[in-house]
Amino acid sequence: MKAPRLRPKDTTTPEVGTDFVPIAEEARNEAPRATIDPDASLTWLRRVKPIMWAHRGIFITSLVMSFVGLVLMVMIPNLLNKAITNSIQKHTVPLSHYVWWIVGLGLVGAVAGYVSRLFLFETAYDIEYDLRNILYEHLTRMSFSFYDRVQTGQLISRANSDIRSVQMYMTFAPSILVQCSIAVVAFIFMLTINVPLAFVAMATMPFVYFAGVKMRNSMFPVSWIIQARLADVATIVDENVNGVRVVKSFAAEQQQLRALSGAAEKVQWSYIKDADLRARFSPVVQNLPQVGLALVLLFGGYMVIHGGLGVGAILAFNAYLVMLQAPFMMLGMLIMMGQRAAASADRIYEIIDEQPTVTDKDDAIDLVDCTGDVRFSHVDFAYASDAERLVLADFDLHISPGETVALVGRTGVGKSTVGRLLTRFYDVRHGSVQIDGHDVRDITQASLRANVGVVLDEPFLFSVSIRDNIAYGKPSAAFEDVEAAARAAGAHEFITHLADGYDTVVGERGYTLSGGQRQRIAIARTLLVNPPIMVLDDATSAIDVQVEQQIHAGLRIRMEGRTTLVIAHRLSTIALADRVVLLDQQKIVADGTHATLLATTPLYAEVLAQAGEYEANADRDGDHPTTTGPRPDGKALRDLLDSVRTGGRS
């Protein structure tokens, strides 16, 4: 036996051909420029600050341009006042002088407005892009236990609307604040025209602000509820689309519609509540400045009549108040956007802050030159960390390099769980799972999974071509290799009969193929990677016995020297193994050849009978529950039984 070799993850002196090389190396994704601060005690805005900072260049340019544009705008009413006084009333300056100034300022303002808007939106979408990548990158790191719990609709809504509302606030809040800062400039201009009138004009602004604050306090809970309920709707829609086959086969459309309309009604209710609150506050916020205008007219008009002020001043004040109205109103909106963004950010952080339970150790090593020695020793495992009842308890199993072992047991006993622990989809509670003598927790996940291939009983295909589906684990594979893998998996023939052969694009999840066809593609997908250890979890359950035999013939050639764990209910599948182990009551209760187990362990015959596989029980029960696909015909089964009993492999 060749000694397994392991190397530290970041070794800088690679030896050609001995290091672990990630299979999909060329598909590496560029990381976002910045990430969210992991310190959960910070406020939500401080946590996203690094992302804002990464885009500071265009963002600050945009804000500066916006400020310049606004200052120019503020200068115009002042010019208007001077034009009326100096050119129209006193005739001391030609009117054209002011006209040209106003036109010039307008033009420069337009350019500044263009640049600021363009850069602002660019920043917004850059930030959205980063946030989405950060979230998705985090999701890819999350462990299986996370996906067991989480609902797809919740994730989708967080990746869409929540990211959008955070992004909007991050970019538009500073821009609105710049616009509000213009209020200060406008106020200074008003002061230069007439001090008392400036104070009169601004008198209502604090009320506008307080109305905004009041609005925020009552609207915040509603906006939070809206986001949560939208996610509920997304979840129902997602389940309905994904589970449409079940819905339709039970004619449960009406039932589902009711569930959806129930959730939609709650969204509608929250939106109406939101609109109601908005309708109460908005008119107040919008009309308060009109009160300001009335006050200016009253006091300003009085001053003009008594000769203390020019008519132009009233016009200028009027223009300023109209100009100020927008920022102050937006200030109210900003406060609301802030609350919504805070709620959204919390929902995003809820995911970001959840740490994957299965992670690489800092000093994890890459598994290279794997010989395929597998050992479970004293393994205790349960899916929930606080569960009292264990799925596996003090479980021991050793598989020697190159050996093919069939794992048999009643349904739900934990067979698939054994496979999931070997690939470290979950971590054991006690004991250890070792490959080549190394605890799987000490090996990098990438190298572990490159060495341990799993074929699941419910194969998931992507909506791409069959060729790309088979080459999923090794995108650079040559077409001949893809075809060879398909042949070994008994898939080549049916693929060539499809309209576009290997280029046929399969429907979502591969639903345009039969269950057995999907399973064969899944087997080909794993065979192409050619891992030294392979787990076949009921991988041929939907394939009829004749085809299965062909596949097994192909597999046997390819299994030479490979450690294989076959999880099986069917005798035809078990026949593939050198050794059979029986799992019951959390541990292996029998270990030997099929023939010995059949002779010595009544439970073994019982388990096979349950799967409708053991003819001896046919007479006793007179009925065979077939739980795992088509029953093999009597003769084929007897041949197989015989061949297994005589120890032959075919």
Candidate residues 15, 148, 493, 508; the one interacting with ligand ATP per rule CB under 6 A: 148
* CA pair distance 132, 123, nearest whole angstrom: 14
Q: Is 585 in the site for ligand ATP (CB under 6 A)?
A: no
Tell me how far apart the 2 most distant CA atoms of the chain are, in Å.
Answer: 122
Q: Which is nearer to ligand ATP, 45 or 390 (CB)?
A: 390
> At closest approach, how far in Å is the CB of 408 from Mg ion?
12
Supply φ then ψ for residue 319, to 5 degrees: -60, -40
Report the DSSP beta bridge partners of residue 509.
461
Backbone angles phi, psi at 255, to 5 degrees: -60, -45
- How many whole angstroms separate alpha carbon 162 and alpha carbon 647? 61
Q: Among residues 414, 459, 629, 632, which is the contact residue for ligand ATP, using CB under 6 A?
A: 414
Q: Which of 138, 216, 229, 415 binds ligand ATP (CB under 6 A)?
A: 415
Q: How far is the CB of 591 from ligand ATP (least distance, A)?
A: 17
Number of residues that bind ligand ATP (CB under 6 A): 11
Q: Judge whether 391 and 586 are in contact, CB under 8 Å.
A: yes
CB of residue 382 to ligand ATP, shortest distance in Å: 8
How many Cα atoms within 13 Å fall on the side-chain side of residue 281? 22
Report, in Å, the least distance between residue 391 CB and ligand ATP.
Answer: 5
Q: Do 516 and 547 contact (CB within 8 A), yes or no?
A: yes
How far, in Å, are 68, 79, 80, 105 from residue 100 at the CA level? 19, 11, 12, 8
The one among 161, 416, 540, 586 contacting ligand ATP by CB under 6 A: 416
Q: What is the DSSP string of 229-294?
A: HHHHHHHHHHHHHHTHHHHHHTT-HHHHHHHHHHHHHHHHHHHHHHHHHHHHHHHHHHHHHHHHHH
Interatomic CA distance for residues 344 and 275, integer angstroms: 19
Tell how strand 587-592 and strand 579-584 pair up: antiparallel
The residue from 17, 412, 622, 648 that contacts ligand ATP (CB under 6 A) is 412
**Strand partners for 550:** none
Nearest approach, Cβ of residue 146 and ligand ATP (Å): 11
Nearer to ligand ATP, 182 or 382 (CB): 382
d(CA 318, CA 293): 7
Cβ of residue 432: shortest distance to ligand ATP, in angstroms? 19
Phi and psi, residue 589, nearest 5°: -105, -15
Nearer to ligand ATP by Cβ, of 317 and 381: the residue is: 381
What is the rounded distance in angstroms from the CA atom of residue 125 to the CA atom of residue 130?
A: 9
Q: Tell whether residue 375 is a contact of ligand ATP (CB under 6 A).
A: no
Closest by alpha carbon to 188, among 282, 82, 77? 77
Residue 391 partner contact from Mg ion, ligand ATP, none using kind-dependent CB cut-offs of 5 to 8 Å: ligand ATP
> Which of ligand ATP, Mg ion, none does 350 bind, CB closer than 5 to 8 A by kind?
none
CB of 430 to ligand ATP, least distance (A): 17
- Choose one: 239-247, 264-272, 412-420, 637-645; the region binding ligand ATP (CB under 6 A): 412-420
Would you count residue 610 as binding ligand ATP (CB under 6 A)?
no
Sign of the torsion formed by the C-alpha atoms of 303, 306, 308 and 310: positive
Binding at 121: pick from ligand ATP, Mg ion, none (beta carbon under 5-8 Å per type): none
Query: What is each CA distance from 94 to 82, 98, 261, 392, 491, in whole angstroms?
Result: 11, 8, 69, 96, 90
Orientation of helix 311-352 relative to helix 95-141, angle to 10°? 10
Q: Could you say which of ligand ATP, Mg ion, none residue 148 binds, taking C-beta under 5 to 8 angstroms by partner kind?
A: ligand ATP
Residue 229 binds ligand ATP, judged by CB under 6 A = no
Query: Quick one: 337 or 577, whose CB is closer to ligand ATP?
Result: 577
411 is a contact residue toward ligand ATP (CB under 6 A): yes
Residues 390-419 that bind Mg ion (CB under 5 A): 416
Is 344 near Mg ion (CB under 5 A)? Answer: no
Other Cβ atoms closer than 10 A to 113: 17
573 binds ligand ATP (CB under 6 A): no
Instruction: Annotate each residue in 413-452 with x if it binds Mg ion (CB under 5 A) or - if it does not, as one string.
Output: ---x------------------------------------
The interface region with ligand ATP, picked from 7-15, 125-133, 358-366, 405-413 by CB under 6 A, is 405-413
Q: Is 526 in the site for Mg ion (CB under 5 A)?
A: no
**Residue closer to ligand ATP (CB basis): 412 or 622:** 412
Question: According to DSSP H, which parts of 461-514 are helical?
Answer: 466-470, 479-488, 492-496
Residue 77 contact partner, candidates ligand ATP, Mg ion, none, CB within 5 to 8 A by sort of partner: none
Contact pick of 175, 417, 423, 434 for ligand ATP (by CB under 6 A): 417
- State in angstroms the smallest separation of the CB of 543 from ligand ATP: 16
* Least distance in angstroms from the C-beta of 148 to ligand ATP: 4
Answer left, alpha or beta for residue 375, where phi above 0 means left and psi between -120 and 50 means alpha: beta
Q: By C-beta, is 165 or 526 nearer to Mg ion?
A: 526
Least separation in angstroms between residue 519's CB and ligand ATP is: 14
Q: Residue 399 pairs with which residues in a beta bridge?
A: 374
In terms of DSSP bridges, do strands 392-399 and 374-381 run parallel, antiparallel, or are they unpaired?
antiparallel
Contacting ligand ATP (CB under 6 A), which of 413, 443, 471, 545? 413
What does 514-534 look like in DSSP terms, one character per residue?
A: -HHHHHHHHHHHHHHH--SEE
Q: What is the separation of C-alpha 122 from the centre of its chain, rounded to a whole number of angstroms?
A: 24
Binding string, residues 379-398; x marks residues near ligand ATP by CB under 6 A: ----x-------x-------
Minimal distance, residue 167 CB to ligand ATP, in Å: 34
Q: How far is the CB of 425 from Mg ion (least distance, A)?
A: 13
Residues engaged in binding Mg ion (CB under 5 A): 416
Residues engaged in binding ligand ATP (CB under 6 A): 148, 383, 391, 409, 411-417
